[in-house]
Structure 1
Amino acid sequence: MSYLSYPRINFYGRFFTDPSTVNNDPTHYEVDNTVPSPWQNPKGLHRFQLQECSVVSTIGASGEVSDPLVNLPFVTTDQPSSAKIADIDVYQQGVPTIYGMQVSIPISEGVSLTGLVDPAVLNQLWWVAVLATRSWQDSDYMMDSFGGDMNACGVYQSVIRVPQATWPADSVSPVLALLKSQTTLEDGNYLISMRFVVDGYRNVPEDVNFQTGRITGSLGPVIGSEPRYNPGARLLAGRTQDKSDPWNWPMFNNCPFVIDQNRKLLILDLANGICRQNAGGAPVDLGTLTANVTLADNSQVSLGNVDYSEFCYNLYSHIVEMPLSDAQLTQVLSGSLSLTISRTDIGPQMIFQENILQTTIEVEVRPIRMSGFPGTTSSTSVYVSRLQEPLVGKQLQVDVVSVHGNTPGATVPPSNPGNTPQADGAIEAAISPTDANGFATVTINVLSDPGSRTPQLDGQLYFINITDPEQLVSEPISQSAMISCLVWSAYPINENPTWPEIQEIFAGYVKLFPGMTEKINLIDYNSFQTFALNPPFGLYQAPPGPLGIDAGAIPFFMSREVTDPRYMPVTRDMSPERTMTVLYYVKNMQDNPITPPTS
């Protein structure tokens, strides 16, 4: 049950992020578009940081407990650099990934719980998490006066890796001592499940909270073979609703939940499911919210009222624990859960319902980047379950979709062309039957060079949808069941590149990421040469990089692991072959520093 188990450490506060948005428009990647529109934050540096965050509660086996962690800060360390957030592609801005985030709870002088977070990917993103002030129609001022980002909400789930040697002594915190005993020890690190929900992001420069939003999150154990980047839980789907409905009918998203049989609890995660009254504000007034279970004979049993209050959101990360009697426990294990409201003036009263026949499909790593040479392969795992139990020997199917502007899930207007015809049939995907723990493996294979959409938009984008062939596929497909795969063009590494080739490689970055260009103009030869030769890697306390290069800021940052927050380019959309071509140019420049720029 990961973060839905115990002990649980809840935090609340704000987050800061400043991604550049110049690269959000496909037309900006056209070579003849030399002066792209600035959008909202052209000089953003793609940082992601926690602000004003603290531990607000701790949960034990029997509910909330007192612990020294409560009221302590929950921070990002910015070590060795600020975490970075980046989209996989302009046509897929729905899976932004946070790289290199290190989090910490400083406890006392020299004592902290500090660990590195695996790359965290946004999931279950919805754009209508704030009640409209005019209507739900897109044409009506995009629903309200706030702007799209302020209306959006989504969830991240990942794993924090805390070195065993630095875990605080058991005497420091009973909750941390219990967490250590409950969680997984792997490769010298204790693993912590981390789920956090973000909403209410302010993208208007005049706003006093510009570039910040609200964050609420929970930490818990990583247990056995459960999925690490998904809840692996049962799921309540929000009621079906159309944008033609009245403005005062709130929208709803999905809510994972689990049944803890040992503790006889129904545990609901409402944080990403209920529409807010305003951006980053309280849930919409629903009257009384009641949990019910529908039995096989279609009779319905009430399980009690659900606390969906703002207080619960702020203090418990909107995770609600409801005790169950023996009879209720038996009923909910096989029955269908639903949540109903007492109000009758804001649409149908059943706002969440579980389909107990539906196969739950959760891809563990959903964004994938691949080189475009035939024979290149990549893979990811998929957790398959039903009623909180893994499905064994289950054979799913995969469908590879070449992404165009009108492809469901594409994050640009349909007027944008998307992939070129060369992309068709360039990759294939297959999926294995699920193993004893409910995991299947999706393998992606490059068959031919996919080419590029423009000289400055490398590669082609694919959605790989995973479905149960025995069930009717709903549209749009769940975000959890879709892989976004960027396949770069097959660019041969050039060991003797010329300066014009290097300029061409960096031209798009200089145009689309002015924040980086302010620091280093990568198509200006004098600037490039200065930062390609200096300083020595010793300044960074790093060994030589590829090709034995041991100096230069440019090769240092370009040779970091993609998970390193210092990796360049920060947007992580340069192919390994283009990167190596740049590094060969740097190597040749260092060996022959007076090489003229035109050679």
Structure 2
Amino acid sequence: MSYLNVPRLTFSGDFISDVSTVNNDPQHYNNNTFKKSFQEFGTGSNNGWWNPEGGATFGFQDCHVKQITDEEGNTSSDPLLDGIIGQIVCGAEGRNSGKMVDLDPQQQMVSQLWGVTFRILTATNELLLEGKIEPTGFRDLQMRQQTGARVNGQPLGGTWTSVLEDVVWGDLAYQSLFLMSLKSKTQENRLSINLNGFGYYYAHATDGRFSLGRILGSLGPWFSGEPKLFPPARRLYGIVSNNNNVFFAASNFILDKENARLSIDFGSSFPVSDSIGTIALNTELFLAVSKTAIGPPPGATPYMVSPDGVLFVGKLEYQNGTGWLNSTSGIVDFNNLSHEVLSALKDNQLLLLGASSKADQFVVIAREAVDGIVLRADEFVQRLDTNQTNEISFYASQYGLPLPNHAIYITLEPPTPMTPKLQNTPPICDVPGNNYPADGLTFDAVITTDVNGVGVLKLTGNSIDSPRGYLDGQIYTLDYDLAGVNTDPASGSVMPQNFIAIHLRDYFEIPETPVWADIQPTMVQFANLYPIMSKFFIDFSDPNALIAKKELLIFAFDRDIKDPIYMPVTRDLSETKRLTILKWLRNPIIEGEAIVVTQQKAKGEINLIQEDTVTETVPLTNNQLRLRDAVRAKNGADFNIPEITNLFEF
């Protein structure tokens, strides 16, 4: 089961993401070259980018339940039929909001939600449902917005999929037939939740939406043994490329054979004409099953099929304007499928077709992968300390069925080159590369799926000693593929799909009696990267200021990593460094001369790394190039955006 299954609830509204942007630039992490101007608003590495005083907060604003779908597939948006419709979706009450943070300044493409509470309340603040969203990073970054993106700044959208843990059902929940149906069907007191975010404002426009974005959400049952951070679904990939922009790039769908129902999610991929989900597309869209395998990659030349070459599932009855997408979250159910369609979908590709100027031809806008293969990793974002071993579950399927006894190849991306100081504009300091030393990670190069199509990788972090100098630890990227199956060229139009992002923290030994010099580099870095703290709460670079508020800091540094109060907000601190800070706070000792020695030692290590670790001649892989370009896109590259009404006219 997943958020696509029934009973299902959809909601929409805004999200706020008051991210800090000083920490978007790796050069700002170098304490030796940091300047106060890096904390000021503006563009480029001479300042703190577009939101230097952000607090990394994430929350829901003006969100409401829009629609429910019962177990028979009946859809309703009438609050008289069930009291859950129209109710308020919000975050925690009386506690810190959740956080949205990057894994690292050199890995910004898996931004994660941490400590986010999800609640549904009545207008009189009575609880209906509450749960904690398991930390999850966004995936399926793709082009969404056709026009107006230069106003708000960000035409891309991304998807967070997760589970609600420790679900609490309020007293009034028992008056909702829908909620009771959902409660009876889901397992382990978890629910599947999906959040599609787009239209994010990082431009300081005059309409008051700065740091806001649009969010389309859905909630459904979750079953034991399923992945937590993506739906166990089949996938459509976009193949129409217009000015190098691919729309309908990735869409999840499931086939419920028992109830003859196909449910597909266009909420993460349907092109919109502004930042609040207005649809201006005029093309007629259809779902169909291909009678023969087709595998063209994305391209500007349309791939056409004739009606004789497909079996039609149905017409996509979307509506122009803001109502349809914001009410349905882009999820469409095709009920009462014929036996012929059900049979064809067992081992043939699903297609999204658009009408063309030729009466006997349809444009293939999106298609399922060749042979219906899907391979995805569940825990695809990893934070590792020395000698820590984590498990990553991989799920392999073919046309929605588990793919047992198949080998999965795991490979470490080659090292990326150091970016020398003279090549930066403006030149501040050298920027280190990634994926070295290779022996920082231990893992099996081949794992095999079990009878359920699940393979488990054990990933161990080994001791590394500041390979990036002023940046703690190292960023590693693992790629994975099924043996004998080439990665579909249509998957991942903006960023690669099959990768694991890892932050391995530096080895650090907890001192017997920590002194200020032991934690000073970390605390100064906090003060540099999060000016909102030093301006409005405490100057982390001043040991006396820390001592004055040590009880509060002990409380914050002693939280669970999933707690929104947890320090640091970026979650990039190793456990041993965190414990060292706590140890110092409980017995603060200041030794001034040791600070100078530590700084000089760190500077020497950086120079050594620059000379000996990597060279400029290391070529970037296709995945590395796509990740680099995705970072540029996320942070405001100038897009050439076509007009939406002409997007699929051929």
- SS of equivalent to 1:357: helix
Deviation at 1:454, TM superposition (A): 2.7
CA apart distance, 1:499 = 1.7
CA contact (8 A) 1:254 1:273 kept: yes
**Quick check: 203-212 or 275-284, which moved more?**
275-284
Corresponding residue of 2:150: 145
Distance 1:443 1:240 in 2: 38
Report how far residue 333 of structure 1 moved. Answer: 2.3
Listed as ranges, the matches of 1:417-566 within 5 Å are 417-419=431-433, 423-430=437-444, 432-449=447-464, 451-455=466-470, 457-473=471-487, 479-518=496-535, 519-532=537-550, 552-566=551-565
CA distance in 2, matches of 1:566, 1:81: 7
Instruction: Choose the corresponding residue for 1:125, options 130, 134, 141.
Output: 141
Residue type of the partner of 1:33?
A: F
Counterpart of 2:487 in 1: which secondary structure?
coil
Paired AA for residue 67 in structure 1: D
Q: Secondary structure at the match of 1:500?
A: helix
Distance 1:253 1:109, change over 3 A: closer
**Secondary structure, in 3 states, of the residue corresponding to 2:549?**
helix
1:302 aligns with 2:312: yes
> How far, CA to CA, are the matches of 1:479 and 1:8 in structure 2?
30
- Map Cα deviations across residues 503-542 of structure 1 (whole Å, 9 max, x no partner): 212121111110122211111122111111xxxxxxxxxx
Which amino acid in the other structure matches residue 364 of structure 2?
A: M
- 1:178 matched to which residue of 2? 181
1:332 and 1:221 mapped to 2: Cα distance? Answer: 24
Q: Specify the SS of the correspondent of 1:362.
A: strand
Please give the alpha-carbon distance, in whole angstroms, between the structure 2 residues aligned to 1:81 and 1:32: 33
For residue 159 of structure 1, the aligned residue among 158, 163, 172 is: 163
Confirm whether residue 580 of structure 1 aligns to residue 595 of structure 2. Answer: no
Q: What are the within-5 Å matches in structure 2 for residues 9-158 of structure 1?
A: 9-30=9-30, 31-35=32-36, 36=38, 37-60=47-70, 61-65=72-76, 66-107=81-122, 110-126=126-142, 128-131=143-146, 145-146=150-151, 148=153, 150-158=154-162
Q: Report deviation, 1:240.
A: 4.9
Helix, strand or coil: the match of 1:95?
coil
In structure 1, C-alpha distance between the alignment counterparts of 2:35 and 2:437, rounded to whole Å:
26
Distance 1:421 1:103, change over 3 A: closer
Cα distance in 1 for residues equivalent to 2:223 and 2:364:
33
What is the DSSP-based 3-state SS (H/G/I as helix, E as strand, rest coil) of the residue aligned with 1:13? strand
| Residues 142-541 of structure 1: pairs in structure 2 closer than 5 A | 145-146=150-151, 148=153, 150-163=154-167, 166-168=169-171, 171-185=174-188, 190-207=189-206, 208-241=208-241, 243=243, 251-296=247-292, 299-309=309-319, 310-323=322-335, 324-344=337-357, 349-371=363-385, 373=386, 375-401=387-413, 404=416, 417-419=431-433, 423-430=437-444, 432-449=447-464, 451-455=466-470, 457-473=471-487, 479-518=496-535, 519-532=537-550
1:471 deviates by 1.4
Distance, in Å, in 2 between the alignment partners of 1:307 and 1:382 is 35
Residue identity matched to 2:155: N
How far off is 1:557 after superposition? 0.7
From the superposition, tell whether residues 427 and 62 of structure 1 become closer, same or farther in structure 2 (CA, over 3 Å): closer
Moved more, 562-571 or 335-344: 335-344
CA distance in 1, matches of 2:363, 2:438: 45
Partner of 1:140: none
- Aligned residue for 1:138? none
Residue identity opposite 2:311 in structure 1: V
Q: What is the aligned-residue RMSD (CA, Å)?
A: 2.8
SS of residue paired to 2:75: strand
CA 105–81 in structure 1, closer or farther in 2 if over 3 Å, else same? same
1:479 and 1:555, CA in 2 relative to 1: closer, same or farther beyond 3 A? Answer: farther
TM-score by length of 2: 0.79
Q: Secondary structure at the match of 2:393?
A: strand
Aligned partners of 1:428, 1:243: CA distance in 2, in Å?
42
Identity %: 25
2:407 match: secondary structure: coil
SS at match of 2:346: helix
The one-letter code sitting in structure 1 at the alignment partner of 2:373 is: T
- Would the aligned equivalents of 2:27 and 2:431 in 1 still touch at CA under 8 Å? no
The question of whether the paired residues in 1 share the 8 Å contact of 2:415 and 2:434 is answered with no
**Cα pair 2:101 2:569 within 8 Å, conserved:** yes
State the AA in 1 paired with 2:380: R
In the alignment, the residues of structure 2 paired with residue 25 and residue 193 of structure 1 have an alpha-carbon distance, to the nearest angstrom, of 34
Q: Per-residue deviation at 1:282?
A: 2.2
Structure 1 unaligned blocks of 5 or more: 134-143, 533-551
The two structures have a TM-score, normalised by structure 1, of: 0.85
Q: CA deviation at 1:170?
A: 6.3
Query: Residue 413 of structure 2 aligns to a residue in which SS?
Result: strand
Point out the more displaced range, 78-87 or 65-74: 78-87
Whole-Å Cα distance in 1 between the matches of residues 7 and 173 of structure 2? 14
Query: Residue 335 of structure 1 aligns to a residue in which SS?
Result: coil
> Kindly tell me: are residues 23 and 111 of structure 1, through their superposed partners in 2, closer, same or farther at Cα, counting changes over 3 Å?
closer
Shift of the alpha carbon at 1:587? 2.3
Structure 1 residue matching 2:191: 3-state secondary structure: strand
Structure 1 residues 573 and 292: alpha-carbon distance in aligned structure 2, compared to 1, 3 A threshold: same
For structure 2, list consecutive stretches of 5 or more residues without a partner in the other structure: 39-46, 294-307, 595-650
Query: How many residues in Structure 1 have an aligned counterpart in Structure 2?
Result: 546
Q: Matched residues in 2 for 1:370 and 1:426: separation?
A: 10
1:450–1:488: 8 Å Cα contact kept in structure 2? Answer: no
Q: For residues 586 and 514 of structure 2, what CA distance do their matches in structure 1 show?
A: 11
Once the 2 structures are TM-superposed, how far is the Cα of residue 319 of structure 1 from its aligned partner?
0.3
Shift of residue 487 of structure 1? 0.6
